[in-house]
Amino acid sequence: MKPRVVLGISGASGAAIGQRISDLLHSLGAETHVIVSRAAERTFAEEIGPEALGRLRARADHWHDIDNIGAPIASGSFPTAGMIVAPCSIRTLSAIAYCNSDSLLTRAADVHLKERRPLILLARETPLHLGHLRAMTAATKAGAVVMPPVPAFYLGPRSVDDIIDQIAYRAVDLLRVFEPTAREWRGPGSYAG
């Protein structure tokens, strides 16, 4: 059986990261369940292009409407290997942290927390104020992994695609389901030039 992974995409900047995670999960043979917020639909169009959402939808094994609270992924009885929210807006992170399950995306995340399954939140905001930090702390205390999409400059990326790939690979690696995909640090000078 293929590992089931839920991919939530909210309306923060960084749509290309969510797209790349979808591609990576597909290449690794995961059964993907994708939920996209309304704000993310707009972000996809603005950051990647008008056809981007259609490509994402075509790649997904299962596409779930944000309002379909009766979808299988809204129940703990539907086993998954984990969930990634990428990018994760502060609004979505706050809803997850404080159990505000007002959409399928936040309900699916809540299910992952209550079932003690991996939940990776690529929180996309800067700078941060105290309210953001408190929400991140609450999400972490509940069991989520808050992973801001920070570039690994020590690996010597040569393009924006290199940066996006490394962030996507690290997020997928945090599920601990597949063989590691991210480039690893091998000491000073390993990736210079």
Would you state the pLDDT for residue 30? 98
Question: Given pLDDT bands bounded at 50, 70 and 90, which one contains residue 188?
Answer: confident
Report the mean per-residue pLDDT for the chain.
95
The residue type of 74 is A
Q: Which residues contact 159 (CB under 8 A, 6 or more apart)?
A: none
The mean per-residue pLDDT over the stretch 2-27 comes to 97
pLDDT at position 71 over 60: yes
Per the CB < 8 A criterion, the answer to whether 168 and 17 are in contact is yes
C-alpha Rg value of the chain to the nearest Å: 16
60 by DSSP, 3-state: which? Answer: coil
The mean per-residue pLDDT over the stretch 101-123 comes to 98
Would you state the pLDDT for residue 176? 96
Q: Which residues contact 190 (CB under 8 A, 6 or more apart)?
A: none
Look up tokens 């941060």; give the residue. 128
Would you state the pLDDT for residue 190? 65
Would you state the pLDDT for residue 185? 82
pLDDT at position 193 over 80: no
Would you state the pLDDT for residue 13? 96
pLDDT per residue as tens digits for the range 38-66: 999 999 999 999 999 999 999 999 999 99
**Parallel/antiparallel/unpaired status of strands 31-36 and 62-64:** parallel
pLDDT at position 69 over 90: yes
pLDDT per residue as tens digits for the range 3-12: 999 999 999 9
User: Which among 89, 84, 83, 17 has a CA at the least distance from the CA of 47?
Assistant: 17
User: Which among 181, 122, 183, 191 has a CA at the least distance from the CA of 156?
Assistant: 191
Per the CB < 8 A criterion, the answer to whether 73 and 6 are in contact is yes
Domain boundaries, the chain: 4-173
**Parallel/antiparallel/unpaired status of strands 119-123 and 145-146:** parallel
How far is 58 from 3, CA to CA, in rounded Å? 19
pLDDT per residue as tens digits for the range 138-183: 999 999 999 999 999 989 999 999 999 999 999 999 999 999 989 8
67 by DSSP, 3-state: which? Answer: coil
User: Which among 73, 5, 86, 74 has a CA at the least distance from the CA of 40?
Assistant: 86
CB 97: neighbour CB atoms within 10 A? 24
Q: Could you name the CATH architecture of 4-173?
A: 3-Layer(aba) Sandwich (3.40)
pTM (whole model) above 0.85: yes
